[in-house]
Each structure stands twice: as C-alpha cells, then as structure tokens.
Amino acid sequence: MIKSMTGFGKASIETGEKTITAEIRSLNSKSADINLRMPGSLRNYELELRNELSRLLERGKIDLSLSIESKKAEAPVEINLPLALAYYQQMKKLAEELGEPISDAVQQVMKFPDVLKSERRETDEKEWEQIRACITKAVEQLNKFRETEGQSLITDFETRLKKIDAALEEIKLLDVQRLQGIKDRIKNNLAEVIGKEKIDQNRFEQELIYYIEKLDINEEKVRLKTHLDYFMETCKEASPGRKLNFISQEIGREINTIGSKANDAQMQKLVVQMKDELEKIKEQSSNVL
C-alpha cells in the first residue's frame, strides 16, 4: 500500500493543569526535513523527537507545531526580592548622603539588572510522556491522511498506465503496416530512379534488412510493456517512491526511443500522448513515500 508524502494531523490532550495541542504537516521531499516549533522548555527532548518523527514518517518536509496552554495563571517573571531590597537600601543611603528626597524608588529599582528574572521550568518525564502521546496521535492522523492520498495516487497511476498501454497496442498494430510501407516506398523510389528491371534483388534485400534493423522497435515495445507491469507491481511494496521514480525514467527512455525510430506520423502522435501521460505519472510519483 503506497502512501503520499502529503498529509496533515492534529491532536489535543487535556491534563489536570494544561492543554497540549500538536499539529503536524508534511510535503514531498527527498529526505526527512523536520522543522519543530515548540516551547523552549522542551529543547532537551528535541533530538529524541526528531529521531522519532524520522522513524515514523520516513521522509518528507515535516512541520510540527506544539503548544502548551496552562489552565491556571502562572507568573511569567519573578522578582528577586533580596536584590531589590539591596538596591533600595543603597538608593536610600545615597539620598540621605546627598540630602535629596527619594522618589519613585520602586520603579527605579525594578529597572536595575537582575531584579526581574524569568522562571523557566524544565519539563519533567511525566509531562513529556503526555506530550509525546499527543504527538503520536497527531502522527497517526497524518499517516491516515497519507494512506487516503495514496489510494488516490494508485487509481491515478492505473488510469494513466492503461492509457500508455493502450497506445502501445496501437503502435504494435501500426508497426506491422509501417515496416511494409517503408519497404514498398524504398522499392518504388528506387525503381523510379534506376528502373525496376535494373534492381539487384539480393543486394536490395541486404540493404533493406540493414535499414529496417535501425527502425526496428520490437525490443523497445517488449521493455516498455515490462516496465509498465513492473510499475504497478512496485506500488504494492513498502515505501516505493524512489523506485517508482527510477521505473518512470526507464518508461520514458523506451517511449523516446520508439519516437525516434517511428518514422510514422500516426505513431508519433501516439508517442506524444504517452509522454503526456508519463509526465503526469512522474509528477505524482514524486509525492509517493
């Protein structure tokens, strides 16, 4: 079952004191490109989280946004009272020495260095387990989204590969008429130039065989059919994205060779149709995990 690299997942967990929300998005990428937006108190767990996401999601451009909202009021900063009192005593002493009144002392003290300090509480293991459980739920939602998208990709691949296969069958029928037409055209042209009675049939057949071999597309037709079947077989494998890209390149190589050897307007038209379908397959396969 193939998966798309595109997806979205969201999950929330309510604890006694906090609401934890995780949102995760992914787009196609050649490797695991992980971007994390989360509180600074979780920095100790960043490497562990990156490794876990890489294991669960394999690859893709992955953006994880994590928010933690407290249900109770928490002071964002804390006053360093001993230091504030020390500053105040110094200011009071200075005012007395100068004989000047002391005014707005509290406001002035609050501006002094280190009087206000941020209190950043580190996340403990219990809270981290709750956060990780929330992230896991979001990842599960993302994977379900990827699987649904993967089903759509499979349907699209089948439709476009059938169109290429149908065009190939038409080319096979045209190929028989094409080769006979080339033989007749060369023979008629030669007869017009030197006369029919002067044609050396043995030499003519030898030269014709050599010329026809250069235009022969039997091997390309067989290989193209094999690649088309192999593409669908590979879709049943786990994480076949890179492999599908390689197979689509091989399909393109055979189609191009058929086009260069065709020397037939109707066959060239079918080749263009196959190329059009293949380009759409390549676009979609680049999004397969």
pLDDT tens string 266-288: 999 999 999 999 999 999 999 99
Structure tokens at 166: 């149908």
Residues 30 and 285: their CA atoms lie apart, in Å, by 12
pLDDT at position 249: 96
What H or E segment, with its residue span, contains residue 219? helix 218-234
pLDDT at position 81: 85
pLDDT at position 215: 84
Could you give the angle at the alpha carbon of 71 between the alpha carbons of 67 and 77, nearest 5°?
Answer: 80
- Residues of the chain below pLDDT 50: none
pLDDT at position 62: 96
Residues 135 and 34: their CA atoms lie apart, in Å, by 14
pLDDT at position 242: 93
Residues 32 and 88: their CA atoms lie apart, in Å, by 55
* DSSP labels, 131-171: HHHHHHHHHHHHHHHHHHHHHHHHHHHHHHHHHHHHHHHHH
Q: Which of 24, 8, 10, 22 is nearest to 63 (CA)?
A: 24
User: Please, are residues 11 and 134 in contact by the beta-carbon 8 Å criterion?
Assistant: yes
Q: Which parts of the chain are beta strand (E)?
A: 7-14, 18-27, 32-37, 60-70, 77-79, 116-118
Residues 155 and 143: their CA atoms lie apart, in Å, by 19
Q: Which of 25, 64, 28 is nearest to 48 (CA)?
A: 64
- The phi, psi pair for 32, rounded to 5°, reads -85, 105
Strand order in the sheet with 60-70: 7-14, 18-27, 60-70, 32-37
Could you give the angle at the alpha carbon of 248 between the alpha carbons of 245 and 254, nearest 5°?
Answer: 150
pLDDT at position 244: 96
Residues 39 and 122: their CA atoms lie apart, in Å, by 10
The contacts of residue 277 (CB under 8 Å, 6+ apart) are: 160, 161, 163, 164
Residues 245 and 250: their CA atoms lie apart, in Å, by 9
Q: What is the signed CA dihedral for 85, 89, 94, 97, rounded to 10 degrees?
A: 170
Residues 48 and 121: their CA atoms lie apart, in Å, by 19
Residues 189 and 194: their CA atoms lie apart, in Å, by 9
pLDDT at position 127: 87
What H or E segment, with its residue span, contains residue 31? none
pLDDT at position 147: 95
| Chain-centroid distance, C-alpha 160 | 21
pLDDT at position 207: 66
pLDDT at position 10: 96
